[in-house]
Amino acid sequence: MDKLIVGCGYLGKRVAALWLAEGHRVFGTTRNPQRATELRQLGIEPVSCDLFDASSLRTLPTADVILYCVGFDRGAGRSMREVYVEGLANFLARGPSSPSRFLHVSSTGVYGQSQGEEVTEASATEPPEESGQVMLAAERMLQDSRPDAMVLRCSGIYGPGRLLRRQAIEAGEPLVGDADKWLNLIHVADGAAAILAAEARSQPGRVHNVSDNQPVRRRDFYTLLARLLNAPEPRFVPVGPGDPLPSHERANRRVSNRRLREELGVQLRYPSFEQGLLAAVGVL
């Protein structure tokens, strides 16, 4: 079976590895020739693709399954809305048509709760941050165009080579924000496994939160991370008077993954941040 990953980056490469192990043919898009070489070395067939170049979209290979997980490149010279909304619109209009399964990676940033509430897929989506508003706009456009598409709302993805605030922690820099607010996370290996589970067992048009079993207070997460990195214990400082409120300070919720576990039968390899961090820094 042929699979196409649009945006074959940190998460996409892990999904590709799982598909390749099952014997599938996997295509991965990239705009970077150097990254194309890397994909080829991993067994992925690289495809040059620019979401804003109609000719490159028309030459994309057809596939039975499409995973759309485009990330935001701040150096690309385009806004988040251009990348996530207009780019997706271009792909849907000019890219390969009618795959049997369309999987879209979104974000739990589409939720707007800020008082520590538990949120499920049925919770209100009223994000105050621009990033969440953009992701929600992309979701809604996709649902209008392809109501059978499955949406995977991922919490913060971490793992080997991607640890939240690592440089600041190692440098002993203070962290601006409330240490008691919640973080919601998913190890990249579990994120990839969740995508395959959705491909195999999700109902068409279903939304799934992709998050681990245990939301964590920032203080607990960064304290363990510092210990594992042999770094100073983290220090938290409040937002200064008159300073703009950072976008991450508006978020404070506990994301439930109950639907992921009960409907898709996903058993996480790293159900908590402790296990995930130990693996990410090479302790496990």
Instruction: For residues 67 and 16, give the distance between their C-alpha atoms in angstroms, rounded to a whole number.
Output: 10
Instruction: For residues 19 and 64, give the distance between their C-alpha atoms in angstroms, rounded to a whole number.
Output: 12
* Residue 192: predicted pLDDT: 98
Where do the domains of the chain lie? 2-158+186-213+256-271
Extended strands (E) in 52-127: 65-68, 101-107, 117-119
Structure tokens at 278: 């130990």
Residue 157 · residue 188 · CB < 8 Å: yes
Q: What is the DSSP letter of 182?
A: E
* Residue 48: predicted pLDDT: 93
Ranges of residues in the chain with a pLDDT under 70 are 75, 245, 283-284
* Residue 284: predicted pLDDT: 55
Instruction: Please give the full DSSP string across 199-267, using - where no structure is assigned.
Output: HHHPPTT-EEEE--S--EEHHHHHHHHHHHTT-PPP-EEPPPTTPPPPHHHH--EEE--HHHHHHH---
- Tell me the per-residue pLDDT of 221-232, one tens digit each, with 9 for 90 and over: 999 999 999 999
Residue 31 · residue 50 · CB < 8 Å: yes
- Tell me the pTM: 0.95
Domain 2-158+186-213+256-271 has CATH 3.40.50.720: yes
Q: Which of 176, 153, 154 minimizes the C-alpha distance to 165?
A: 176
| CA end-to-end distance (rounded Å), the chain | 34
* Residue 54: predicted pLDDT: 92
* Residue 25: predicted pLDDT: 98
* Residue 81: predicted pLDDT: 95
